[in-house]
Chain A
Amino acid sequence: MNTVVQARQLGKRYGRRRWALRDCTVDIPAGHVVGLVGPNGAGKTTLLKLAAGRLEPTSGAITVLGGPPADTPGQLARVGFVAQDAPVYTQLTVAEHLRLGARLNPRWDAGLASERAARFGLTPAHRAGRLSGGQRAQLALTLGLAKRPELLILDEPVASLDPLARREFMQGLMEATAEHAFSVVLSSHLVSDLERVCDFLVVLVDSRVLVAGEVETLLATHHRLTGPRRDPGRLPAGQQVICASHTDRQSTYVVRTDAPIHDPAWTVTPLGLEDLVLAYLDRRPAGDPRTPLAVRP
């Protein structure tokens, strides 16, 4: 299967010390809507910028659509990028934004642009600075879609939008993916934003990729087991513990396994996507006791 983004031990360090992304290895197949989930500051924006060619990796390698994400017009034309908070030129009108897109992109789809502008109430003569947050996001998305990229990257596209605008934004995005075959990578710190739209998920925590895979496969291979208290060491070899919690009587595990679970002692319940991600976020490295929350001077 074609990969749109392939990262190998990818790392990015800002300044001397701060690693924004470290040892990131991930393959993102083509034809998916990929959700990049993680808490704020996990390195999502850095990974997206590396994929868009905005940043140069400090270590490792990344290929996007089969080539290095170089700063060349050819590669730029194939990759769309909608930055966080959907920046637009406040002094320019909607029409001027579309003109900008038409002039700067070889594969510009003027029909799509004007159709979307009309549908989302983007009056051509209005200055972009006067648009509502949702309309601004739609304008930025229109520019990203009408350039007809093979891969569209969106950095926290709905984080600053109200629920209605969020839904409209996702509707527009999904409609475009249904109509034109292209891959999408979008990030969010909220799983709920991505639950319906993503069929591939990458969870990024503390600048590392914790899990990546097709949503369906992830949901099929992760289970919550509840039952009498039991040591993790006594679980079958094929079951990888994602997170565990115990009371004196009861144990609750979230495990990843390809095989069905037959043990009658367990009550097995399926996990939703959000619970699955939370299980990974909750995970602490083995042997590392939960550090209590403390305010440091």
Chain B
Amino acid sequence: MIWLTWRQLRGSAIAMAAVLAVIGAVLLLTGPGMAARHTAGLADCAAQSTCLQFYDRFFGDYDTPFLAVSLLVVLLPAFAGLFWAAPMITRELEAGTHLLAWSQSVTRRRWLAVKLGITCLLAMAAACLCGLMVTWWSGPLDDSAPADLALVAPLVFGARGVVPMGYAAFAVALGVAVGMFVRRTLPAMALTLAVFAAVQIAMPLLVRPHLMAPVTSTFEIGPANVEGISVDRDGGGTPRIRLKSVTPGHPGSWVLANGILDPAGRPLADDGGGSAVPVSTTSGPCAPGAAFGACTTEINRLGYRQRATFHPLERFWPLQWIETGIYAALALGLAGSSFWAIRRRLS
């Protein structure tokens, strides 16, 4: 049975391995050079304290390949579920070859277990390999990335570490389970994609923030966390402060909620364009022409603070393992339903 499953998967597995080998080679060739540039640049900028500019420049040079490899890691599990797992069952059901397989001295449970197991392992191995390769390669870039592309931020988190392995296991189990119930290739593929995409969107939006209790802290207002100050002439000259999604002193954290507290500790309203801070703009530090830093210092002095709810960067690996565990559990649940289906529904 292992031989048969391998024989059926052989072509696509080899193709996948070839693609991964090519990507691996490219990453291996470009990785060390990029890392060397990063190290040298950091040494340079530390001396001149221009590291923020260096980060921007360095990341700007590599942002396209960065996004491309990240996307690759995110798409690979979906690919395995869509093109390996779902058709693996439905093609047999459509051609009736499952009857041929079951006519041999092999139980249906074993047939499914071997098919699901091997495909799952292959997809997980591919995702794991790809994920770790990309994690290694993009290390310097993750270090330099802007806040919304930080390692623990939703867009990048799923493309790093071990969690792609969990996605792959889930995608394959999903594809197989959908194939069992839908029984036709194209609808099964479509449904697999839809469900997988829905779960992948729901996870960072609804689930991941709550996997660990987020940290809530207040921070002094300063150039590090203020995106900009604007003075709206119609609004009575009150300056509006827009905050960056960053937490001073905790670089690379994933900010879930962000706002300004007034001196009494009440949150200020934020209409998306910033929060109005009642401070004079006709004279004093925030008057037109005054230095940007002086104004934020003044606001800070008046007792205004940033309050952020966030996951710090250190939680990257705990979150990775928890999420991998969740996907593994989902995969097991789907596998269980497939085994139920093969006993009760298929013949």
Q: State the A residues within 8 Å of B (CB).
A: 49, 52, 54-56, 71-73, 76-77, 80-85, 87-92, 96, 99-101, 103-106, 140, 143-144, 147
Which of B73-81, B100-108, B161-169, B211-219 lies on the face that meets chain A?
A: B100-108
CB neighbors of A among B111-161 (8 A): none
Contacts A76-B105, A87-B99, A104-B104 given; 7 further ones with Cβ under 8 A?
Answer: A49-B347, A54-B99, A73-B105, A89-B95, A103-B4, A104-B4, A106-B105
User: Is B109 engaged at the interface, CB distance under 8 Å to the other chain?
Assistant: yes
Residue of B nearest to A82 (CB): B103
Q: Is the CB of A104 within 8 A of B7?
A: no
Minimal Cβ-Cβ distance residue in B for A75: B105
Cβ–Cβ < 8 Å partners of A100 in chain B: 3-4, 104
Please tell me if B39 contacts chain A, counting CB pairs below 8 Å.
no
State the CA gap A147–B106 with chains docked (Å).
12
Q: Which residues of B contact A96 (CB under 8 A)?
A: 7
Which residues of A lie under 8 Å from residue B104 when comparing CB positions?
Answer: 76, 100-101, 104-105, 143, 147
Q: Restricting to B309-347, which residues have a CB under 8 Å from any CB of A?
A: 343-344, 347
Cβ contact within 8 Å between A144 and B103 = yes
Q: Mostly helix, strand, loop or mixed at chain B's interface? A: helix
Please determine whether B347 and A87 come into contact, CB atoms closer than 8 angstroms: no
Neighbouring A residues of B1 by C-beta, 8 Å: 103-104
Nearest CB of B to A56, in Å: 8
Q: How far is the CB of A288 from chain B (nearest CB, A)?
A: 32
Residue among B7, B100, B101, B110 with max Cβ neighbours from chain A (10 Å) = B100
Task: Check A87–B97 contact: CB distance below 8 A.
Answer: yes
With the chains together, A85 CA to B108 CA distance in Å? 20
Flag if B347 contacts A54 (CB, 8 Å).
yes
Q: Which residue of A lies closest to B344 (CB)?
A: A56
Q: Which residues of B contact A (CB under 8 A)?
A: 1, 3-4, 7-8, 95-97, 99-110, 343-344, 347
CB nearest to A45 among chain B residues: B347
Quick check: A88 and B100 within 8 Å, CB to CB? yes
Q: Identify which of B8, B106, B343 contacts A76 (C-beta below 8 A).
A: B106
Is the Cβ of B4 less than 8 Å from the Cβ of A81?
A: no
**CB neighbours of B95 from chain A (8 A):** 87, 89-90
Docked-complex contact A81 and B107, CB < 8 angstroms:
no
Closest residue of A by beta carbon distance from B11: A91
A278 to B121, CA, bound (A): 56
Within the complex, which residue of B96, B103, B107 is in contact with A72, where a contact is CB–CB below 8 Å?
A: B107
Please indicate the chain A residues that have their CB under 8 angstroms from the CB of B99 in the complex: 54, 81, 83, 87
Residue numbers in B under 8 Å from A72 (CB-CB): 107
Chain A residue nearest in CB terms to B96: A87
| Most chain B beta-carbon contacts within 10 A, residue among A96, A101, A104 | A104
A54, A80, A85 — which one has the most chain B CB atoms within 10 A of its CB? Answer: A54
Chain B residues closer than 8 Å to A87, beta-carbon distance: 95-97, 99-100
**Which residues of chain A are near B108, meaning CB under 8 Å?**
71
